[in-house]
Amino acid sequence: MTIPLRVLIVEDSVDDTDLLLRELRLGGYEPTHERVETPEAMNAALDQQMWDIVFGDYSMPHFNGMAALKLLRERGLDLPFIFISGTIGEDTAVASMKAGANDYVIKGNLKRLLPAVDRELKEAAVRREHRQAEETIRYLAYYDPLTGLPNRTSLLDRLHLAITEGSGQKKSVALLLMDLDHFKEVNDTLGHHRGDILLQQVGSRLRAVLRPSDLVARLGGDEFAVLLPLASSQHAAQVAQKILEALEPPFMIDGLPVAVEAGVGIAVCPDHGTNPNSLMQRADVAMYAAKQTGSGYIVYDTHYDRHSPRRLSLIGELRQAIERDQLFLHFQPKIDLKTRRVIGVEALVRWRHPEHGFVPPDQFIEPAEQTGLIKPLTLWIFNAARREGLMWQQAGIHLSMSVNLSARNLHDPHFPDQISEILQTTGGKPDELELEITESAIMNDPARALEAITRLRAMGIRFAIDDFGIGYSSLAYLKRLPVDAIKIDKSFVINMIENQNDAVIVRSTIDLAHNLGLKVIAEGVEKQDIWDRLSALGCDAAQGYYMSRPMPAEELTRWLSDSPYGLNCRAV
Ligand code: C2E
Ligand code: MG
Ligand code: MG
């Protein structure tokens, strides 16, 4: 039995080509071949068909094997490449392997040819299988296999991207969430198989009414989402109307007509939220309201919040979560831009809900603020952060610990005393503590904020203004506040390389803050070029995914010993 083999030969000698083909035939292969002598001919041959293997003569007058190999790899083709050469020294052999050749064979000694070909073809097949497996995994990570539509992960990725692009162009982005009515009944009465067919058909109808640049995703169950990049809420409402009309004609499933109704909720960035989680949550609230009222679609408005069952039950459950140890902290390092040392960590609360899984803080901090639950929550966080900080201190790790406060904490007259009590019971030095407050928390009631900050500062606690730049306070106002540092909001930092406006805001914030004697921390440092730019601008410290994501305490201890950003021996 012979094995067909498609062979591309980069070679100027016809005789040598014949010798090579003869050897392959002797080994049981049935080669079809093309011989090329120039880059143009090689490119044309690669365009024309698929090849199994490429042989290259090491030295030819106008074109050589190295250049052929380079050309092949530049085209991203992972075909075995074997050098065939009249003479090849050790050095050349090593150089060719380094350049990505799979093997080399000397023309005068073709004995090594067949074993090399057998081996390389086998290995190429293994690599191909690997690639296919990886593609499948990637596909499953980003697509819903039932409908072939992007899944929740894709949607969140694209939403993140659309928000960033939209804010750069000062345009809004719309998110529509849609849930079918009575889908469970379809499943129960007609069976899961027909339910699946219905979902597939709904997916196709959605796709058919939308533009190619719009994203349609299936989030699971009977929930779908549509992302309209650069769309206003009016445009989103028109699209929602079109979707509802498209769903009106009954679906034919195994010859049976099935009628489907749906509720659509719309949330728009920046009006209703500026990050993927808050937009999803708001669109969900609007969708629930649409379903409750049977009004087809609804654009989010704060007054629908009160009716959101998810929100109401979350608040009830958050109360229990505090008692039942479902909350825990992650810590994200802050790194000094000059010394590249870790100077502190920010404690960020996490909630692992027994049914909903991970609930991001964006979803429960705000309701907790509105209901007053933020008071016990912050005390719990403060206590937990303090205990962790002291454990590190005992292990000789001195890190400044930052905890986020909300406006409610700052305006609570008991708060400073409660903090003082925790400090006394836990012991340790308070100057390793920093509290982060947002501008809007201060501007809510500046006189009371000032009083609370002054009392807490008298205990040795330092303060930083969080999310600086998105609120209304001016740096001139900050001058009157006894704070130590400001954190530039990540929305400016993330885009500062591409967006000139953001770059100017970052630069002037750094300069003015330094004039006022404040330290500046940039949050949202996601890439090396942002780190470099901030460093050149004289920013003091940075925090962001480029260096590290927030992580659990045990992981942080490991990270501190392994990362290039060693530890500062003294707290700053
Ligand atoms: P924040 O205080 O400004 O915290 C920084 C947020 O940015 C964190 O999100 C963090 O994970 C995220 N982040 C860090 N580096 C990067 C980056 O390079 N790129 C991007 N895109 N994001 C980055 P997280 O933990 O989801 O917290 C969100 C917000 O929720 C916090 O913003 C804070 O306002 C609030 N929050 C979190 N934990 C607490 C807490 O313990 N108490 C209070 N009151 N609020 C909290
Ligand atoms: Mg913060
Ligand atoms: Mg922040």
Measure the CA angle with vertex 96, ends 93 and 97; round to 5°: 85
229 plus 319 within the same structural domain: no
Residue type, 405: L
Index of the ligand 1 atom closest to the CA of residue 489: 3
366 lines ligand 1 (CB under 6 A): no
Contact 283, 305 (CB under 8 A): no
Continuous segment of H or E residues that includes residue 455: helix 446-458
Residue 327 vs residue 354, higher pLDDT: 327
- What CATH number does residue 277 fall under? 3.30.70.270
* CB 296 less than 6 A from any atom of ligand 1: no
Which domain range does residue 421 map to?
312-563
Does the residue 206 lie in any domain? yes
Q: Of 301, 334, 368, which residue sits at a domain end?
A: 301
What pLDDT is recorded for position 568?
56
Q: What local confidence, expressed as pLDDT, does residue 476 receive?
A: 60
Cα of 468 from ligand 1 centre, angstroms: 13
Closest CA to 364 of 308, 402, 432: 308
Residues 6+ apart with CB under 8 A from 33: 6, 7, 8, 9, 17, 21
Best of 489, 491, 523 to mutate for ligand 1, by most ligand atoms within 8 A of CB? Answer: 523
CA 113/CA 106 separation, integer angstroms: 9
Tell me, in angstroms, the distance from the centre of ligand 2 to residue 197's CA. Answer: 46
On whether residue 440 sits in a domain, the answer given is yes
In a domain, 571, yes or no: no
Q: What is the pLDDT of residues 412-432, one digit of tens each?
A: 889 999 999 999 888 777 778
Both 132 and 197 in one domain: the answer is: no
The reply to whether 265 and 160 lie within a common domain is yes
Q: What residue's CA is closest to ligand 1, atom 43?
A: 404
Give the pairing of strands 357-359 and 342-353: antiparallel
Q: Is the pLDDT of residue 143 over 60?
A: yes
CATH of residue 319: 3.20.20.450
> Does the pLDDT of residue 571 top 50, yes or no?
no
What tokens appear for 207 in the block?
């796709």
Contact between 60 and 11 (Cβ < 8 Å):
yes
Q: Please tell me the predicted confidence (pLDDT) of residue 207.
A: 95
383 pLDDT more than 90: yes
Q: Is residue 384 situated within a structural domain?
A: yes
Q: Residue 327 corresponds to which tokens in the numbers above?
A: 């909350």
466 CA distance to ligand 1 centroid (A)?
10
Give the count of alpha carbons within 13 A of 119, CB side only. Answer: 10
Mean local confidence (pLDDT), 347-363: 87
Mean predicted confidence (pLDDT) in 516-523: 94
Same domain, 281 and 374: no
| Same-domain check for residues 162 and 129 | no
Q: What is the three-class DSSP state of 526?
A: coil
Indicate which atom in ligand 1 lies nearest the CA of residue 545: 18
In SS3 terms, 254-316 reads as CCEEECCCEEEEEEEECCCCCCHHHHHHHHHHHHHHHHHHCCCEEECCHHHHHHCHHHHHHHH
pLDDT at 472: 55
Q: Taking 90 as the threshold, does the pLDDT of residue 243 lie above it?
A: yes
Rounded to a whole number of angstroms, the CA Rg of the chain reads 31
Contacts of 281 (CB under 8 A, 6+ apart): 273, 310, 362, 363
Task: Specify the pairing of strand 223-228 against strand 262-269.
Answer: unpaired
- Which atom belonging to ligand 1 lies closest to the Cα atom of 374? 44
CB atoms within 10 A of CB 270: 16
Give the ligand whose atoms come closest to the C-alpha of residue 489: 3
| Confidence tier at 179 by pLDDT (50, 70, 90) | very high
Residue 145 has pLDDT above 80, yes or no: yes
**Atom 25 of ligand 1, nearest CA residue:** 348
Contact 441 CB / ligand 1 (< 6 Å): no
- 569 confidence band (pLDDT: 50, 70, 90): very low
Say if residue 270 is preceded by a cis peptide, omega within 30 of 0.
yes
Both 171 and 240 in a single domain? yes
Q: Please, are residues 374 and 365 in contact by the beta-carbon 8 Å criterion?
A: yes
Are residues 64 and 129 located together in one domain of the fold? Answer: yes
Buried b (16+ CB within 10 A) or exposed e, 113-136: bbebbeebbeebeeeeeeeeeeee
Ligand 2 center–CA 402 separation, angstroms: 8
Q: CA–CA separation, 399 vs 393, rounded Å?
A: 8
Average pLDDT, integer, range 72-76: 91
Q: How far is the CA of 328 from the centre of ligand 1 (A)?
A: 14
Position 363 in a domain: yes
Residue 10 lies in a domain: yes
Q: Which residues pair with 5 in a beta bridge?
A: 31
Q: Is the CB of residue 410 less than 8 Å from the CB of residue 436?
A: no
Show which of 108, 140, 172 is a domain's final residue. 140
- Whether 78 and 109 map to the same domain: the answer is yes
Q: Which ligand is nearest to the CA of 361?
A: 1
Q: Which residue minimizes the CA distance to atom 20 of ligand 1?
A: 524
Query: Does the pLDDT of residue 570 top 70, yes or no?
Result: no
What's the mean per-residue pLDDT of the chain?
Answer: 89
Domain contains 146: no
CA dihedral in degrees (125, 129, 131, 134; nearest 10)? Answer: -170
Tell how far the Cα of 322 is from the centroid of ligand 2, in angstroms.
20
Q: Which of the ligands is closest to the CA of residue 374?
A: 1
Confidence of residue 572 (pLDDT cuts 50, 70, 90): very low
Domain boundary among 81, 107, 140: 140
Same domain, 29 and 72: yes
Atom of ligand 1 nearest to the CA of 543: 15
Clarify whether residues 179 and 134 are in a common domain: no
Q: Whose CA is nearest to atom 8 of ligand 1?
A: 348
pLDDT over 70 percentage in the chain: 96
Q: Is residue 63 part of a domain?
A: yes
- Which of 351, 404, 466, 467 should be mutated for ligand 1, with most atoms under 8 A from CB? 404
Beta carbon of 519 within 6 Å of any ligand 1 atom: no
Listed in sequence order, the residues at least 6 apart from 517 whose beta carbon sits closer than 8 Å to its beta carbon are none
pLDDT tens digits, one per residue of 283-336:
998 998 898 788 899 999 988 876 666 666 777 788 889 888 899 999 999 999
- Nearest residue by C-alpha to atom 4 in ligand 1: 348
Least distant ligand from the CA of 344: 2
Q: Determine whether the shortest distance from the Cβ of 409 to ligand 1 is under 6 A.
A: no
Query: How many structural domains is the chain composed of?
Result: 3
- Compute the half-sphere exposure of residue 279: CA atoms within 13 Å on the CB side of its CA: 27
For range 357-366, the mean pLDDT: 84
Q: What is the H or E stretch that residue 160 is in?
A: helix 152-168
Residues above pLDDT 90, as percent of the chain: 57
Helix, strand or coil, per DSSP, at residue 177: strand
Q: How far is the CA of 487 from the centre of ligand 1 (A)?
A: 12
CA distance readout (Å), 477 to 461, 480, 481, 506? 21, 6, 7, 18
Judgement on whether residues 264 and 334 belong to the same structural domain of the protein: no
CATH number of the domain to which 132 belongs: 3.40.50.2300
Report the DSSP beta bridge partners of residue 57: 84
Same domain, 225 and 83: no
